[in-house]
Chain A
Amino acid sequence: MLIAILALANPLNASAAELNLLNVSYDPTRELYQQFDAAFAKYWEAKTGNKVTIKASHGGSGKQARAIIDGLEANVATLALAYDVDQLYEKGKLIPKDWQKRLPNNSSPYTSTIVFLVRKGNPKHIKDWDDLVKPGVAVITPNPKTSGGARWNFLAAWAYSLKQTNNDEAKAKEFVTKLFKNVPVLDSGARGSTTTFVERGIGDVLLAWENEAFLAKKELGPDKVDIVVPSISILAEPPVTIVDKVADKHKTRAVAQAYLEYLYSDEGQDIAGKNFYRPTKPEVAAKYASQFPKVNLITIDEFGGWQKAQKTFFSDGGVFDQIYAK
Chain B
Amino acid sequence: MQFKKKIIASLLISGGVLGAAGQASANDSSELEQLRALVQELDQKVRVLARKEELQEEDLEKQKKETPKIKASASGFGLESADGKNSIKLQGLLQSDYRAYNNAYRDVRSRSDFRAGDLDNGLTGFSNTGDGWLIRRARPTVLGTLFGKYDYRFTEDFAGGNATVVDAYVDARFDPAFQVQVGKYKSQFSLERLQGGGNIKFIERSYVANDIAPNRDLGINLHGDVLDKKLSYSLAYNNGVQDGGNISTGTDFNGASEYTARLFTTPFKDQDSALSGLGFGLAATHAHFSGQANLNYTDTSAANGSWNGLPSYVSDGQNTVFRYNTWTSGSTPGAVADGTRFRLSPQANYYYGPFGLITEYVRISQGVSNYTGGSPAAGGTATDFVINKSSNKTLNHDAWQIAGSWLLTGEDASFGKVKPKQDFDLDKGGWGAWELVARYHELYAPCKSKAGTSYTQAAGAYSDLSKSVKSAHSYDLGVNWYLNEDVKVAVNYLHTTFEGGDIKPGTGANILANGSNVADRSDEQAIFARFQISY
Q: Which residues of A contact B (CB under 8 A)?
A: 2, 5-6, 8-11, 138, 184-185, 187-188, 192, 196, 200-203
Contact = CB atoms under 8 A, between A and B. Distances in A.
Interface string B47-70: 110111011000000000000000
A202 B47 contact: yes
B24 interface: no
Contact of B226 (A5, A192, A202): A5
Interface stretch (B128-136, B227-235, B491-499): B227-235
B226 A6 contact: yes
B147 to A, nearest CB: 9
A9 B226 contact: yes
A185 B227 contact: no
Contacts of A203: 44
Contacts of A5: 177, 226-227, 231, 233
B223 to A, nearest CB: 10
A6 B55 contact: no
Given A138-B44, A202-B44, A6 B51 contact: no
B398 to A, nearest CB: 27
Interface of B: 44, 47-48, 50-52, 54-55, 175-178, 224, 226-227, 231, 233, 235
Given A200-B47, A202-B44, A185 B226 contact: no
A48 to B, nearest CB: 26
Contact of A9 (B44, B51, B54, B177): B177
A9 B176 CA distance: 9
Nearest to A70: B83
B50 A200 contact: yes
B227 A9 contact: yes
14 contacts: A5-B177, A5-B226, A5-B227, A9-B226, A9-B227, A11-B175, A138-B44, A184-B48, A185-B48, A185-B51, A185-B55, A187-B55, A192-B55, A202-B44
Nearest to B45: A184
Interface of A is mostly: loop
Given A200-B51, A203-B44, 12 more contacts: A2-B235, A5-B227, A6-B177, A9-B226, A9-B227, A10-B178, A184-B44, A185-B55, A192-B55, A196-B51, A200-B50, A202-B48
A38 to B, nearest CB: 29
Contacts of A187: 55
B513 to A, nearest CB: 51
Nearest to B85: A71
A229 to B, nearest CB: 25
Contacts of A10: 175, 177-178
Contacts of A11: 175
A153 B257 CA distance: 69
A8 B235 CA distance: 18
A188 B177 CA distance: 41
Contacts of B52: 185
Contacts of A201: 47
